[in-house]
Structure 1
Amino acid sequence: MFSCRSLKLVCAALCLSSSFAVSAAGITHQPVGKIAEQEVRHISTYFPGRMAGSPAELMMADYVNQRFQSMGYQSDLRDFKTHYVYTSSEGKKDWHNVNATSVIAVKPGNTDKQILIVAHLDTYTPMSDSDVNHNLGGLTLQGVDDNASGVGVMLELAERLRSVKTKATIRFLALSAEELGSKGAENYLSRMSKADKDNTLLVINLDSLITGDKLYFHSGVNTPKAIAEKTRDRALKLAKRFGISAAINNGHGEHSPKGTGCCSDHMTFDASNIPVLAVEASNWSLGKKDGYQQTSKNTRFPAGTTWHQPQYDNLQYLDKHLPGRIKSRTRDSVRILLPLVEEVAK
């Protein structure tokens, strides 16, 4: 049960969220990427520690829901029960049950075809005493890269697409519990009918767009070649046109064939033979060549990553050590994805 002080903090955060939603609506005249950057900074500042099932996550979901509604979208909260295993330092394993919350917004088209634009809104939940001892996840994690960045870009795409007429319906999915094993994606997929799956032209997954050295565009293992050419390869052509550094995984790692990626919500849809385009920033030429190392190891980023680490994945640190990166990467992501979505949706 919340204390009076906690309730006051919740109300204050919701009021801040509402005011930002109203002021941000209808500003597509702003430079490309500006809306996304503002959203990344707002989400990171006001909703740190948005672990699945936490009060911060619920406030974050409510904020995102309000943003979609302020743009005129049909938008609702969708809660679901899930769980994860917590391991103690003695090796004891306990189930932890949580009630997570996703947000689903819809832009109706005039056919049964649809595009799903996905970004997870939760931050990393410590799953062991070792995680806690190594300061992984928790209440102080802003999650700028992972994954305020994906949600911010999704919200700008929604802002700029809302008045664009499309044949395909566009659904924006801000999913919870990705950090618990893509439980939000599994929950959404379980509610899709066979017709829904068959009519899904593409799932675009946005996850961790800031820290990595360059943008990567991945198709699914099961994405047909013809669709990969119209989506992944098209994204690379758009990037080249705009002078943006982008690439595909060259397939040197053990588990991800050339042109595919790992490991986020898109894999859940890919396993059901739904075409996917996964967007991330990383460096697949480093480390084990599996995409987990985002940049070279140095004094600023000792492990070559910021994932799940509050001391690195925050606004102050990233602005200091990757100056201008949040602005440039949100801009570049929107510049590539906006025309691509319009092409596929039409």
Structure 2
Amino acid sequence: MKKVFAVIAILGMFACQEKMEKKISFEDDVAFLASDDLAGRETGTEGEIKAAHYIKDRFKSMELQAMGNAGTYFQTFTFAPKNDPHGEVRFRESGKNDSLITGTNVIGFLNHKAKNTIVIGAHYDHLGMGGEGSLHREGAAIHNGADDNASGVAIMLQLAETLKAENYKGNNYLFIAFSGEEMGLLGSNFFTKNATIDLSTVNYMINMDMVGRLNDDKALAVHGTGTSPIFPQAVFSANSDFKIAEHKSGVGPSDHTSFYLNDIPVLHFFTGQHEDYHKPGDDSQKLNYDGMALIQKYIEAIILELDDNGKIKFTKTKDESAAVPSFKVGLGVVPDYLYSGSGMRIDGVSEGKAAQNAKLQRGDIVIKMGDSTVTDMMSYMRVLSTFDQGDTTTVVIQREGEEIEKEVTFVKD
């Protein structure tokens, strides 16, 4: 009988060892981060804190150096929520004020004792039960944010594991899971103002936000290619799988912008909008995990391509000095950010807005509004900013190769 118990004990030991050695997959990371138990990971909530501890444990298991505050993996920041949606959030000292919110960046460092460091980041917060920013109109519901942005965090974690095993030692690597992105790039903004490494040693920053829904055409948007003269060569020479939609600007609605504004070259990866964006339907079973693996390998190839180039040069992109237009109205569409042709292609139409009222459709390409030609996203925004609520104008679209003119009356977005 003792021998039987001994055999059972040994088998149990091997089973535990096998379980410990089992590699954590994209699916594993996303399944946890986008589970209902985390209730949408809204900044400062219990769900976000659970996610922060999960990422911390993943960093710790890889033996990454804690690079948050006071020898921890966490960098916390406290702020008062905005009353004015166009106002600026101001960070505050932590205290007993119940109206303040505390976000938590999670930071791990792979130290190769190199002169320069690559920052690899992804935000892990989302919209919680909905509210401001949600496109869901049927009451409170959990917004799990599998694509936005458990997908980016999962690729970041897999990159950390791979880069630790590989011999790319031309740079150190700082991995950051940002909090507060959905509230206005708060975590990345705070980090660049309170960096836990010397910011002047940052070589470049890689950001992944919504990288979980690679389509059948394998279209991948890469933003920031104009922020260093070496980026276009590296981005295209490393590519063997994707139809790249190249965007030169370093400014965009994600955390890479905070680094670009500190004169750091940036690359941001994005697989495009979809019908579940900022809705409860953004769930883990809808992600393209094979596509995520391809994106991970592609980013590794870019890093390897640049590994022996030392500190790369930063360049400003053309539109960073132009003021972002302010809008009194909206067309009520979601632009297709993967589109690289002439005009602005529509990827989604909001209910009850100007575009739907004018019977514009997903896939339509806006090429003219009023007397102004629309050649790209920036020209579309500039033209849109000239209209007031109640204005009526003609919009020329391309639909299945045919030019069609529609009359649009603008309503408040």
Query: Structure 1 CA distance, aligned partners of 2:18 and 2:99?
Result: 39
Structure-to-structure mapping, 1:29-178, within 5 angstroms:
35-45=25-35, 46-75=37-66, 76-86=73-83, 96-124=99-127, 131=134, 134=137, 140-165=142-167, 166-178=169-181
Aligned to 1:334: 296
Gapped runs of 5+ residues in structure 1?
1-21, 29-33, 89-94, 250-257, 283-293, 295-303, 319-324
Report the equivalent of 1:31: none
Q: Report the Cα distance in structure 2 between the residues aligned to 1:307 and 1:133, rounded to whole angstroms.
A: 9
Contact 1:169 1:345 in 2 (8 A): no
> Shift of residue 219 of structure 1?
1.1
Given residue 334 of structure 1, which amino acid in structure 2 is its aligned partner? Q
1:217 to 222, 226, 230: 222
Alignment counterpart, residue 246 of structure 2, candidates 242, 245, 248: 248
Count of residues in Structure 1 that have an aligned counterpart in Structure 2: 269
Provide the rounded CA distance (Å) in 1 between the counterparts of 2:32 and 2:46. 17
Q: Aligned residue for 1:183?
A: 186
Residue 328 (structure 1) shift: 2.2
Distance 1:129 1:189 in 2: 25
Deviations along 1:270-314, whole A, 9 cap, x unmatched?
A: 1111110111111xxxxxxxxxxx2xxxxxxxxx5422111x211
Counterpart of 2:277? Answer: 307
Contact 1:48 1:143 in 2 (8 A): no
Identity score, percent: 25
2:45 partner amino acid: S
Could you list the structure 1 runs, at least 4 aligned residues long, displaced by more than 4 angstroms after superposition: 22-28, 125-133, 258-261
| Unmatched runs of 5 consecutive residues or more in structure 2 | 1-16, 67-72, 86-97, 309-413
- Name the CA distance, whole Å, in 1 between partners of 2:220 and 2:257: 18
**1-structure distance, mates of 2:21, 2:164:** 10
Matches within 5 A, 1:289-304: 294=273, 304=274
CA distance in structure 1 between the partners assigned to 2:54 and 2:76 by the alignment = 15
Contact 1:103 1:173 in 2 (8 A): yes
RMSD over aligned CA atoms reads: 3.0
Select the structure with the greater relative contact order (CA < 8 A; seq sep ≥ 6): 1
CA–CA distance in 1 between the matches of 2:221 and 2:22? 28
Task: Out of 113-122 and 68-77, give the one that drifted further.
Answer: 68-77
Q: Which stretch of the first structure deviates more once superposed, 154-163 or 143-152?
A: 154-163
**SS across alignment from 2:198:** helix
Q: TM-score, normalization: structure 1?
A: 0.69
Displacement of 1:27 after TM fit? Answer: 5.3
Going from structure 1 to structure 2, the CA distance change for 1:245 and 1:261 (only over 3 Å counts) comes to farther
- Partner of 2:100, secondary structure, is strand
User: 1:173–1:130: structure 2 CA closer, same or farther, 3 Å change rule?
Assistant: closer
Question: CA offset at residue 260 of structure 1?
Answer: 5.2
Larger radius of gyration: 2
Shift of 1:218: 1.2
TM-score, length of structure 2 as denominator length = 0.58
